[in-house]
Amino acid sequence: MNINDFLKMKQEAKPIKMITCYDYWSAKILAKTNVDCVLIGDSSAMVMHGFDSTVSADTSMIETHIKAVKKGINNKFIIGDMPFLSYRKTLPLAMESVEKLMKVGAHSIKLEGVFGNEDLIKHIIASGVPVMGHLGFTPQSINMFGNSIVQGKGEQASQQLIESAKILEDLGCFAIVLECISSSLAKTITDILSIPTIGIGAGSGTSGQVLVLQDLLGADPDFNPKFLKKYLNIHGLIKDAVNQYCSDVDSGIFPDVAHSYGVKQNASN
Ligand code: KIV
């Protein structure tokens, strides 16, 4: 997978499957799946480190997760997320963050929003780094949104999102994440653009989908946004497995002869 394949998949109406990945063991599993690309996102601050929002992510956090993921995956396109404010100070500082993410193995970076980022996006792309945009609910701006998760509501807000998407395409982004907007607006944007859109909480009219791995596996029983489909109850499965282990240790069932060294199971061993 490379940036041309993103475009090709949209043109051929093949859905792009993107998923987040933050560590070595899940990277080894994702390497064997049909996902097309892997996002080392700033949601790692929440699902891996327990912070309340993505505001707490920093470049070294994303760098560390990319390094771990790269050890387990070498057959997927990797997108590294530019964390909160890492691209809003100065161009040299932003480029230092871009460099760090690319040098540890990202194939592209993602950043949120458009206004005020135009020159930076142009510069990053002109420097040979593909950029994925991110519009709609942009979690790094959580403190600006208040309680309103779904974005682009009403004529003016939806027009602004459409305009923003067009600007990102014109700047040279190879794809755009659309988060928590109505299905119809996401489809309108997808139809207007040549580049693909990748939705999360944006319905089925986008060119692809992205979910946080821990969310789709059902790691947190308390996290149940409308857009999330849980494909597993990993919380329950892990809890049951660990409790089974505890009870086996308590009752002396584990370790048994089969799992012990230097103990003959029967005469033939
Ligand atoms: O960090 C993340 O998980 C993301 C996705 C929501 C697209 O940016």
Render each residue's pLDDT in the chain as its tens digit; 269 residues.
Answer: 999 999 999 999 999 999 999 999 999 999 999 999 999 999 999 999 999 999 999 999 999 999 999 999 999 999 999 999 999 999 999 999 999 999 999 999 999 999 999 999 999 999 999 999 999 999 999 999 987 899 999 999 999 999 999 999 999 999 999 999 999 999 999 999 999 999 999 999 999 999 999 999 999 999 999 999 999 999 999 999 999 999 999 999 999 999 999 987 764 44
Please tell me if the CB atom of residue 177 comes closer than 6 angstroms to any atom of ligand 1: yes
Regarding whether 238 and 220 lie in a shared domain, the answer is no
Q: In terms of domains, do 50 and 100 share one?
A: yes
- Does ligand 1 come within 6 angstroms of the Cβ of 20? yes
Which residues are CB-contacts of 9 (< 8 A; sequence separation ≥ 6)? 15, 16, 36, 196, 207, 208
92: exposed, middle or buried (C-beta count within 10 Å: 0-12, 13-18, 19+)? exposed
> Is the CB of residue 41 below 6 angstroms from any atom belonging to ligand 1?
yes
Q: Are residues 192 and 165 in the same domain?
A: yes
- Distances in whole angstroms, Cα of residue 146 to Cα of each of 51, 135, 140, 142, 179: 18, 17, 12, 7, 16
Kindly give the distance from the C-alpha atom of residue 78 to the centroid of ligand 1, in angstroms, as a whole number.
Answer: 13
Helix (H, G, I), strand (E, B) or coil at 162: helix
Give the domain extent around 31: 3-232
Asked if residue 214 and residue 255 are part of one domain, the reply reads no
Residues 178 and 264 in one domain: no
Residue nearest to atom 5 of ligand 1 (CA): 41
- Identify the residue whose C-alpha is closest to ligand 1 atom 8: 41
Centre of ligand 1 from the C-alpha of residue 44, in Å: 9
128 & 44 share domain: yes
Cβ atoms within 10 Å of 9's Cβ, excluding its own: 19
Nearest CA to ligand 1 atom 1: 41
Same domain, residue pair 252 and 192: no
Cα 169 to Cα 196: distance, rounded to the nearest angstrom: 10
d(CA 114, CA 111): 9
Known catalytic membership, residue 179: yes
Q: For position 201, which CATH number holds?
A: 3.20.20.60
Q: Do 266 and 208 reside in the same domain of the chain?
A: no
**Cα–Cα distance, 17 to 106 (Å, whole number):** 17
Cα(134) to ligand 1 centroid in Å equals 9
**71 shares its domain with 184:** yes
Q: Whole-model pTM?
A: 0.96
Q: Are residues 222 and 109 in the same domain?
A: yes
> How many domains is the chain built from?
2
Q: How far is the CA of 87 from the centre of ligand 1 (A)?
A: 17
Domain co-membership, 58 together with 113: yes
**Do 55 and 126 lie in a common domain?**
yes
What does the block give as tokens for 102? 């690319």
